[in-house]
A = this chain, B = another copy of it.
Amino acid sequence: MVDAHGKSPILAVGSVAFDSIKNPFGEANRVVGGSATYFSLAASFFTDVRLVAVVGEDFAERGAEVFGGRSIDTSGLQVMPGETFRWKGVYGFDLNQRETIYTKLNVFEDFQPVISEEWRTSPFVFLGNIHPKLQLDVLDQVESPKLVAADTMNLWIENTPDDLAKVLERIDILIINDSEARELSRESNLVKAARTLRAMGPATVVIKRGEHGVLTTTSRDGEFFTAPALPLEEVFDPTGAGDTFAGGFVGYLAACGNTHDSSLARAIIYGSTLASFAVEDFSIDRLLRLEQREVDERFRLFKRMTHFDEV
C-alpha cells in the first residue's frame, strides 16, 4: 500500500480540459485546464499521482508537455475520438466572480472511469467534481482505500442530490467551496454549514473560501482549523486555485500517511501554498515553472505571516 519512498500514491479522477479565459489583465485561449490537471500537478510535489481522465484526439502531444517528467502516471488517461472538454470563462475586476461563457463536455460526455487492476488498491483516492454517479462508480472499483477525498459542485447539488448523498456517505474528506457548502447544507453560517455537512458523512469537511482562506473541521468536536489565504499583491488568474489547493492538501496527507489534526493543519497550509502560486499566471503556467524550493520557502513565509507566541 505504500510505495518505495514510504509515501502513498493517490488515484485522482477528474477532468482534463482546454480552457479559454478572459480577465481584465488579458486573455488565454485553449490553454490546458481541468480539475484533475491542477490537482495532479499540485499533488505531484508530494507523492505519486495516478491520473484517470479522458481527453480527445486534439489533446495529443500536450500530455507529455504537461505531465511528463513529474510523478504523474498518465496510463489512466483515456484518449477518445473527438474533442477534449472545453470551458470558457470571463472574470471581472472582482476575481472572486466569474461568468461561464460555455461548457462543452465533448468526449467527457461518455467518460467511464476504468481503474486498472493495479490501481484498484490505491490507498488514497481523490474524486474531482465529476457527476456523483461517476464518483460512485470509482468507489465501487477501488478496494478499501485508506482515505477518500472528494469535491463537488452546484450542478450536482441541484440536479442529483440523491446520488451526491450516497457519495457523502462513502468519503472521508469533503473539499468544497463556501457557496457550495452553504447550498448543500442550507446554512448561511459556515461553521453551521461545516457541522451539517459532517453529519452527512465525511469525517472532515474542508471549506475553501477563495481569497479569504480555508476553514476545516478537526477531530475536536466543534473546533476548527482556519487559515487565511496568503495576501497577494497580484492575483492574475484564479482558475484552478481550488483544485490546486486540493492537490497540495491531499498530496501532503498521502505523503505523511495520517490525518491527525497537526497533519491536517499542515496539509491545509501546503494546499494554500500551492494555490497561491497557481493564481500568479494563466492556466497551469506557474505550476509548470514551480520548484520544490519555492514551495518550501512560501510554506515558511506562511508561518511567519500567521504565527504568534503566547507571552
Contact = CB atoms under 8 A, between A and B. Distances in A.
Contacts of A225: 305-306, 308
A299 B305 contact: no
A120 interface: no
A309 B260 CA distance: 12
A114 interface: no
| Chain A interface main SS type | mixed
A228 B226 contact: yes
A52 B228 CA distance: 36
A57 interface: no
A307 B310 CA distance: 12
Q: Can you tell how many copies of this chain the complex includes?
A: 2
A227 B307 CA distance: 9
Nearest to A234: B189
Interface stretch (A73-81, A197-205, A264-272): A264-272
A93 interface: yes
Given A226-B231, A228-B227, A232-B191, A307 B305 contact: no
A308 B266 contact: yes
A213 B305 CA distance: 13
Interface string A213-233: 101000010011111100111
Contact of A300 (B234, B299, B310): B310
Contact of A299 (B228, B269, B301, B310): B310
A144 interface: no
Given A190-B231, A212-B212, A265 B307 contact: yes
A223 B308 contact: no
A233 B307 CA distance: 24
A192 interface: yes
Given A192-B233, A265-B308, 6 more contacts: A213-B228, A215-B231, A266-B309, A266-B311, A269-B308, A307-B307
Interface of A: 93, 188-192, 212-213, 215, 220, 223-228, 231-235, 256, 262, 265-266, 268-269, 299-301, 303-311
